[in-house]
Amino acid sequence: MKKSAITLAVAATVGLGTIFGGTPAKIEAESISKLKGEQNNIQEKRSDVKLDINQANDKISELQGQQADVKSDMKSIDFAIGDTTTKINEKTAKIEETKAEITKLQEETKIIKERIEKRNELLKDRARSYQETGGVVNYLDVLMGSTSFSDFIDRANAVATIMNADQDILKQHEADKKELESKQNQVEKDLSDLKIMLADLEKMNQQLNAQKAEKDKLLGTLIDQEAEEHEYMMDLKEQEQILASQEAAIQKAIKMEQEAQARAAAEAAAAAAKNNQANSGGGGGASTANPGVSSGYWTQPAVGRFSSGFGGRGDGNHYGVDIANSTQVPIVAAADGVVIKSYYSSSYGNCIFISHSINGQVYTTVYAHMSSRIAGSGDVVKKGQQIGVMGNTGASQGQHLHFELHKGPWTQDKSNAINPVGIVPMP
């Protein structure tokens, strides 16, 4: 699947954490400038992502147009295959008819041959009779042997009939032989022509089916490309949503930073006035309480058993650590921060991304596979504040918290992921 060169940058809110640590006003002023710069940066990234989304939409439209063309071609090929198949069936039926005609002709030939044989025998008998009786002289004997004129006429007619019959036999004999030869030649030619036409049609049909198979393959490729483009566009849309959420979170952080600076200035003025009073003998000692986070910046995100560490394992690299528990336990923010994204992911399940800034360094924590989420996108959270409940959602096998720590923003390739052990307290 294609991936945009734009990272999701869920934690690029440089300086967000300065609103939580009570840092000096100068650093706070610098953090506002950094936040505004990062906000502009994100706006540019959102613009790039929107451009990529439009290009992906154009690509999808182009692929759909190509699919429509291929489907039209396939329809034409289907019609051609149907027409060719019909012709093949017709020619096959005609060949069967011709074969039946040949069989019939063979029966007729047998009869004709029998007639010819009979005529041959008759002619042979007649020839033998001519030889034995002297041929024409025999006819004269017949005529001369008449006893009366009437008998002569009868005998003359009989002789003429016999001679005509002999001529008819010879003529019919020749006609039968020519008819037999003509029919055999014609039928054999017709059968040969039909077989050639059938072979041509079958070859054409094979070519059409091959073309259809190629079109099927092309259509499948185009459909796969469209699905990939849709997936890519969904990824872009998710990035755009994350960037939009981050931009809103940064805007909130800027406002909070400004309010914090105003409060710090007021507190500084009040402290200065109090100091003046103390120096002039006008009051008690000033408070030096530190509003910083107790027990360090980080806290354990969940109670349970440390079930899997950071690094390589059987199913690939593990970019976080797992804390398992047999009962549903609260998931808490590991440090003060701003929720960049709270949503359901097919891989992470119910998950939350939080951006932190510790001593000027931006970190991102990820809390995955929760059964439910309490904190929403844009929420400001404190260390130890509950954000969800441990679960088994997404690509998970058994109830646990998958916890990631990134030094910098979360990226698609997780290049900023670091081992939280030794930084964040663990069971």
Tens-place pLDDT, residues 171-199: 776 777 777 778 778 778 888 888 898 88
Provide CB contacts within 8 A for 400, sequence distance 6+.
304, 307, 308, 322, 323, 324, 325, 369, 390, 392
Mean pLDDT over residues 303-307, rounded?
Answer: 94
Look up the CATH number of the domain holding residue 320: 2.70.70.10
Looking at 269, 288, 307, the residue that finishes a domain is 288
Residues 209, 336 within the same domain: no
Residue 288 has pLDDT above 60, yes or no: no
Question: Phi first, then psi: what are they for 25, rounded to 5°?
Answer: -60, -35
Distance between CA atoms of 42 and 54, rounded to whole angstroms? 18
Q: Per the domain annotation, does 229 fall within a domain?
A: yes
Looking at 288, 303, 320, the residue that finishes a domain is 288
DSSP state of 292: S
Residue 322 has pLDDT above 50, yes or no: yes
Q: Per the domain annotation, does 13 fall within a domain?
A: no
Residues 59, 205 within the same domain: yes
The SS3 call for residue 427 is: coil
Distance between CA atoms of 241 and 227, rounded to whole angstroms? 21
Residues 358, 264 within the same domain: no
Look up the CATH number of the domain holding residue 100: 1.10.287
- Apex 154 CA angle, 152 and 158, nearest 5: 115
CB atoms within 10 A of CB 339: 22
Q: Hey, what amino acid is at 52?
A: D
Q: Which of 303, 325, 301 is CA-nearest to residue 383?
A: 301
Q: Per the domain annotation, does 3 fall within a domain?
A: no
Residues 193, 319 within the same domain: no
Residues 408, 323 within the same domain: yes
Residues 145, 223 within the same domain: yes
Residues 98, 237 within the same domain: yes
**Please, what sign has the CA dihedral across residues 262, 264, 269, 273?**
positive
pLDDT tens digits, one per residue of 117-148: 776 676 666 556 555 554 444 555 555 666 66
Residues 251, 310 within the same domain: no
CB 427 within 8 A of CB 305: yes
Give the pLDDT band of residue 294 (cuts 50, 70, 90). very low
Q: Per the domain annotation, does 370 fall within a domain?
A: yes
CB 318 within 8 A of CB 368: no
Q: Per the domain annotation, does 337 fall within a domain?
A: yes
CB 294 within 8 A of CB 22: no
Q: Per the domain annotation, does 4 fall within a domain?
A: no
**Side-chain half-sphere of 293: how many Cα atoms within 13 Å?**
23
Tokens matching residue 116: 């010819």
Residues 239, 323 within the same domain: no
Looking at 242, 270, 288, the residue that finishes a domain is 288
Mean pLDDT over residues 55-67, rounded?
Answer: 89
> Residue 421 is part of which domain span?
293-427
Q: How many domains does the chain have?
A: 2
**Please, what sign has the CA dihedral across residues 180, 183, 189, 191?**
negative
| Ranges assigned E (strand) in 2-129 | none
Q: Which of 417, 404, 410 is CA-nearest to residue 6?
A: 410
Q: Which of 371, 412, 373 is CA-nearest to residue 390?
A: 371
Least confident of 172-181, 386-395, 410-419: 172-181
Distance between CA atoms of 175 and 408, rounded to whole angstroms? 107
The SS3 call for residue 319 is: coil
Residues 270, 302 within the same domain: no
pTM higher than 0.75: no
Residues 126, 232 within the same domain: yes
Q: Per the domain annotation, does 12 fall within a domain?
A: no
Residue 213 has pLDDT above 70, yes or no: yes
CB 292 within 8 A of CB 53: no
Residue 228 has pLDDT above 60, yes or no: yes
Q: What is the pLDDT of residue 417?
A: 94
Q: Which of 372, 331, 356 is CA-nearest to residue 410?
A: 356
Tokens matching residue 55: 């290009």
Residues 233, 376 within the same domain: no
Kind of pairing, strands 372-373 and 349-358?
unpaired
Q: Per the domain annotation, does 426 fall within a domain?
A: yes
